Structure 1
Amino acid sequence: MDERAALAAIADRLPATGDDCAVVDGQVITTDMLHEATDFPAGTTRYTAGWRAVGASLSDVASMGAAATAAVAVYAAPEFDPEELSAFLDGAADVCEAADAEYVGGDLDGHDEFTVATTALGETDDPVLRSGATPGDAVCVTGTLGRSGAALRHFERDDVERGNELFRFEPRVAAGRALAEHATAMMDSSDGLARSLHQLAEASDCGMDVETPLPIDESVDAVADDGEDRLELGAFFGEDFELVCTLPEDRIDDARASVDAGLTHIGTVTEGGVTLDGEPLPDRGWTH
């Protein structure tokens, strides 16, 4: 099975697993695992690794419209270098502070590859699920897309300073809380905009009609080879951790005014099919 098939099989046995987070008695909980070989390009600092790993779990909390409360992490490495460990803790603590949460520790383990497993907690009495979109709703996305794809290009070109800078995204917890008052469905874009649209459409049994221009980050322009490559990094690469949501058309202005990260109206919920500029949008993105 691929990752999506495995997740579907788990969901059949464990319905409480929910969407981006499990929901239990007014709390949301999520866990993630990142590996050096697949998630941290050469040149990624331990500070950035701590920020990004914990931030990924906080992004799941954001996507449920919850207030983030705390996060923990398992830090596994071949050896415990004191400077690297300290930098990791600084990054984890700083991203929690940015999300108004607290980093409260975790566990250490020896491992032949640097690996991080993180868990984040949040609180909400009314979580936003993926399954509430209805035809006629607007499709919106926070912030900009493509930063992680641009970061990888910088790492590949040995511009590690810029790569690390772009890799440190801000979890959209505040935006998620604001959007919870308006959104009918929501998730984060960790697997890429295109795949997120397909996942929302599947969960809500509907379609999505999206149009360009998409809010692609200006950092992509510095590394993209052409317009097709620009779209690839912005819509399919993934790992951007923005929020993709649906909401009634008449709530767009109120929602936009409440989201400091910015909110772009990119399309409309339809009866079926996922399209970009009228053409079928491939269901592909980040794959673990």
Structure 2
Amino acid sequence: MKNKRKDSLSKSTTELGEHNIIGLIQDHLDLMPNMPVPFGDDVSAFEIENERVVVLKTDMLTNKTDVPKEMSLWQAARKTIVMNVSDFASKGVKPTAIIVSLGLPRTFTSKDIEEIACGLNAGAREYGAYIIGGDTGETSDLIIAASLFGMAQKKDLMLRKGAKAGDTLAVTGLFGKTGAGLKILLNGFKATPKVKEKLVASVCMPKARLIEGLTLGASKTVTASIDSSDGLAWSLHELSNNSNVGFTIDKVPIAKEVFQFAESNRLNPLELALYGGEEYELVVTIKTEVLEKTIKEIKNIGGCLIPIGTVTKDLKILIDIDGKKDIIEPRGWEHFKS
């Protein structure tokens, strides 16, 4: 693997893509002993005492690649928090404190900065956390980077590794809205005013499934978990690679607005649902014998848990709907390539 990566050092970031770039960096890092969460999972962690761990996450938003012109600065700042909270949700961890670093262009005004501050605070308080500090600096384009901190018991973390053949694969919501919304915002696709409003809102005002994640963590019924921010298909492949299993998908829950949008624009709704990205649903595997109990627990807190398939020993990831089988490709959102 390392030789292969050395051969790729002369490649550009566009040729490498985000995942190979991360691999290159990891090759030059000393591995911390006894890491509670391995590299490549949704969060990082280190143990402090008696199996108690500090959980950390950082993610950034940049204006050029992440902020459509229709998105306000308030929405962009809030979304930065949501992106991070979603990863905590997928591990069943509640964030308590946030540090934010801001890269601000010289052209920004005091009003712009106040709008960013209000969006950051709104996102933090929405999920019960506080912003406790950070850094600011001058940059050529807006950059908002947030780092989340929380605490958990090591044994309670829902990692990407752990799915077993026979488990049920489930998700916390419908798919396709952000894929369709991004096509409206970035590619000029058309939709009726009502449909457009909902699809664009899914991009500009996303929700993290924190309550669902905390409930799933407390249920002790989840065997593996990931958030779907890079797309449903990519998330399935990540779970597959980490757990050394495959999946047979018999249902993909797609929002009705996606069907309407796809029909009017001659697009495939399944393609939008599988490969869209920027959806912050949880994708989990659950012990089948306690599936109904877990569905009821999520329903009781106002959420939903939708079974979409089965974990298999065969490492392939297949979709089998109405007797037609296809392979789900490892595609999704990837910086430098998408």
Give yes or no for TM over 0.5.
yes
Match of 2:330 in 1: 283
Q: Establish whether residue 229 from structure 1 lines up as the match of residue 268 from structure 2.
A: yes
Match of 1:84 in 2: 112
Answer with 217-226 or 143-152: which moved more: 217-226
Match of 1:139 in 2: 169
Answer with 217-226 or 178-187: which moved more: 217-226
The one-letter amino acid of 1:146's match is G
Answer with 193-202 or 33-42: which moved more: 33-42
Q: Deviations over 1:16-61 (max 9, x none)?
A: 4631011112221011122112111112101110111111011111
Structure 1: give runs of 5+ residues left out of the alignment.
Answer: none
- Give distance in 2, aligned partners of 1:251 and 1:90: 42
1:1-288 → structure 2 map (5 Å cutoff): 1-11=16-26, 13=29, 14=31, 16=35, 18=38, 19-25=41-47, 26-79=53-106, 80-125=108-153, 126-156=156-186, 157=188, 165-167=201-203, 168-180=205-217, 181-212=220-251, 214-225=252-263, 229-259=268-298, 260-271=302-313, 272-277=315-320, 278-288=325-335
Deviation at residue 111 of structure 1 after TM alignment: 1.0
Deviation at residue 95 of structure 1 after TM alignment: 2.0
The one-letter amino acid of 2:255's match is D
> 8 Å contact 1:66–1:127 — kept in the other structure?
yes
SS in 2 for 1:208: strand
CA shift in 2, pair 1:163/1:46, >3 Å: farther
Answer with 31-40 or 187-196: which moved more: 31-40
> 8 Å contact 1:208–1:267 — kept in the other structure?
yes
Q: Deviations over 1:104-160 (max 9, x none)?
A: 342222111111111112222021111100000000111222232232234244989
Structure 2: give runs of 5+ residues left out of the alignment.
Answer: 1-15, 48-52
Deviation at residue 9 of structure 1 after TM alignment: 4.5
SS in 2 for 1:135: coil
Answer with 254-263 or 241-250: which moved more: 254-263
Structure with greater Cα Rg: 2
SS in 2 for 1:100: coil
- Give distance in 2, aligned partners of 1:139 and 1:66: 21
> 8 Å contact 1:48–1:164 — kept in the other structure?
no
SS in 2 for 1:284: coil
- Give distance in 2, aligned partners of 1:127 and 1:227: 42
- Give distance in 2, aligned partners of 1:146 and 1:104: 35
> 8 Å contact 1:133–1:204 — kept in the other structure?
yes
RMSD over aligned Cα atoms: 2.2
- Give distance in 1, aligned partners of 2:293 and 2:80: 32
> 8 Å contact 1:61–1:121 — kept in the other structure?
no
State the identity as a percent: 31
> 8 Å contact 1:172–1:243 — kept in the other structure?
yes
